[in-house]
């Protein structure tokens, strides 16, 4: 097939649509293998940064971007008319939830509408955005075929869910096995050639629906087990038992157990969102996914639990939340990254603010809060610098994310009261003063 040969010979132009945490590293992976890449994004700040050889994502080095631009392998634009130049178009755009926990495909479908006028024969379209089973064939395929292009003959359509772990030095978009399913056998053949050009191991499956379902299973597995850990944390706390010690003991079993850890809630672009995509789709078939919904309820309740524990900790100092100054350590949803998508810290800030607290945050990876859809009130708030004086000025320091760049020795030495949602203090081997530390 001509398109497959074009990809294998590195004559194809690979279009990456959406240059965020998924699209940018994937594009750099193609460039590293000698393929030409055109990045398309509606955000002119991102395309301008790429063309200047800069990185706007902390854990992605700028040098490969600069080298790619200099060599002519990397280009970026906001002009979607250039999609017609591309032999492959890989869609890496968000799939959030609506206010009613239903799938919001607006980013995917709006992006496709931008691309439709420029689609042509002998292109492959790949969707990487996490979504419910059936999306690729039920939503994308009919819109493409309305152009008069037959999927599997004139144009090729595949689904290959993104697998990213920002900040993980051991895994990247090129060495994580890649699941891929095609709308037809011919589509799968082209998709296999596309991803074998960049990924060490491609895992073909029989359909786009299987590929879509597999991504949801990965994150539902984590959501349910984290929900279990969070539920047990609350129960253990009531019993006066340290859940972290319990998990550490259970994890010594060499088989049949995998440790999952509690926290202040779920964050990131996958685990808080993806399970509800399957829950929504399952209702169409009369299936009530009770495990998924229960874990979702537990995990979503955790920020309120942490706020309650913070109030209790302050009460031991004869202080109310109303009027207290509280510093939250960590805005990113996980340690050592600058990714604040769906971070539970926002819910902690909202909950404490609603009770009348004066809330600040410190995060060495996020100097200023950029606009978000759900937490616009915090836009422009800047990270507080940590010093002995500033730590001592707060009534409570709440650890939401355990960044390694935060000096916990300094935190313990200068904070009057600490609420720790990550077992950070104990994990660091520190010994706080009696009554100084509360685990939440």
pLDDT tens column, 150-171: 999 999 999 999 998 777 778 8
Q: Which residues are catalytic?
A: 270
User: What was the pLDDT predicted at 395?
Assistant: 98
Is 276:296 a contact under the CB 8 Å cutoff?
Answer: yes
Alpha-carbon radius of gyration of the chain: 24
The domain spans of the chain are 2-206, 221-439
Is 440:426 a contact under the CB 8 Å cutoff?
Answer: no
Beta-carbon contacts of 228 under 8 Å, excluding residues fewer than 6 positions away, are: 260, 295
Asked if residue 173 has pLDDT above 90, the reply is: no
Is 230:298 a contact under the CB 8 Å cutoff?
Answer: yes
- Closest alpha carbon to 400 in 340, 337, 332: 332
**Between residues 98 and 79, which one has the greater pLDDT?**
79
Beta-carbon contacts of 349 under 8 Å, excluding residues fewer than 6 positions away, are: 328, 359, 361, 375, 378
Q: How far apart are CA 206 and CA 37, in angstroms?
A: 28
Is 147:125 a contact under the CB 8 Å cutoff?
Answer: no
Is 20:101 a contact under the CB 8 Å cutoff?
Answer: no
Per residue in 240-286, pLDDT (tens digit) is 999 999 999 999 999 999 999 999 999 887 888 889 999 999 999 99
pLDDT grade for 367, boundaries at 50, 70 and 90? very high
**What integer best gives the mean pLDDT of the chain?**
95
Q: In which element (H, E) is residue 303 found?
A: helix 290-315
Asked if residue 109 has pLDDT above 80, the reply is: yes
User: What was the pLDDT predicted at 407?
Assistant: 97
What CATH superfamily is the domain 221-439? NAD(P)-binding Rossmann-like Domain (3.40.50.720)
pLDDT grade for 174, boundaries at 50, 70 and 90? confident
Beta-carbon contacts of 52 under 8 Å, excluding residues fewer than 6 positions away, are: none
Range 34-44 average pLDDT: 97
Same fold, 2-206 and 221-439: yes
- Closest alpha carbon to 127 in 217, 218, 211, 219: 211
- Fold of the CATH domain 2-206: Rossmann fold (3.40.50)
Range 43-49 average pLDDT: 97
User: What was the pLDDT predicted at 374?
Assistant: 84
pTM, two decimals, is 0.92
Alpha helix (H) residue ranges in 116-184: 135, 141-145
Range 399-427 average pLDDT: 97
Is 406:335 a contact under the CB 8 Å cutoff?
Answer: no
């Amino acid at each position: 097939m001509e398109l497959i040969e074009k990809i294998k010979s590195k004559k194809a132009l690979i279009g990456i649509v959406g240059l965020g945490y998924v699209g940018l590293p994937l594009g750099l992976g193609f460039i590293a293998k000698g393929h030409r890449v055109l990045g398309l994004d509606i955000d002119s700040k991102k395309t301008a940064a790429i063309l200047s050889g800069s990185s706007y994502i902390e854990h992605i080095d700028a040098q490969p971007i600069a080298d790619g631009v200099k060599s002519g392998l990397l280009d970026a634009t906001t002009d979607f008319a250039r999609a017609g130049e591309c032999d492959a178009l890989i869609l890496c755009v968000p799939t959030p939830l609506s206010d009613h926990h239903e799938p919001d495909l607006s980013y995917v479908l709006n992006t496709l509408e931008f691309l439709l006028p420029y689609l042509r024969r002998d292109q492959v379209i790949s969707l990487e955005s996490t979504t419910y089973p059936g999306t690729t064939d039920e939503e994308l395929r009919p819109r493409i075929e309305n152009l008069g292009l037959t999927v599997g003959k004139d144009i090729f359509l595949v689904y290959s869910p993104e697998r990213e772990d920002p900040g993980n030095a051991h895994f990247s978009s090129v060495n994580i096995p890649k699941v891929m399913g095609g709308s037809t056998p011919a589509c799968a053949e082209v998709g296999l050639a596309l991803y074998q050009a960049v990924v060490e191991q491609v895992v073909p499956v029989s359909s786009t629906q299987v590929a879509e379902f597999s991504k949801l299973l990965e994150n539902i597995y984590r959501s349910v087990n984290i929900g279990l850990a969070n539920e047990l944390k609350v129960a253990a706390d009531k019993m006066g038992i340290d859940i972290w010690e319990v998990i550490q003991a259970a994890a010594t079993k060499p088989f049949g157990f995998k440790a999952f850890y509690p926290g202040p809630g779920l964050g990131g672009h996958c685990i808080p969102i993806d399970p509800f995509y399957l829950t929504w789709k399952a209702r169409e078939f009369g299936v009530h996914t009770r495990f998924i919904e229960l874990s979702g309820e537990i995990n979503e309740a955790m920020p309120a639990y942490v706020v309650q524990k913070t109030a209790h900790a302050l009460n031991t100092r004869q202080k109310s939340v109303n009027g207290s100054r509280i510093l939250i350590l960590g805005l990113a949803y996980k340690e050592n990254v600058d990714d604040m998508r769906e971070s539970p810290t926002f819910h902690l800030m909202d909950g404490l603010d609603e009770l009348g607290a004066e809330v600040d945050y410190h995060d060495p990876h996020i100097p200023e809060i950029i606009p978000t859809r759900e937490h616009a009130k915090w836009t422009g708030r800047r990270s507080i610098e940590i010093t002995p004086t500033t730590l001592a000025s707060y009534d409570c320091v709440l650890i939401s994310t355990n960044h390694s760049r935060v000096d916990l020795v300094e935190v313990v030495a200068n904070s009057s009261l600490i609420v720790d949602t990550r077992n950070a203090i104990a994990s660091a081997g520190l010994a706080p003063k009696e009554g100084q530390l509360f685990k939440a």
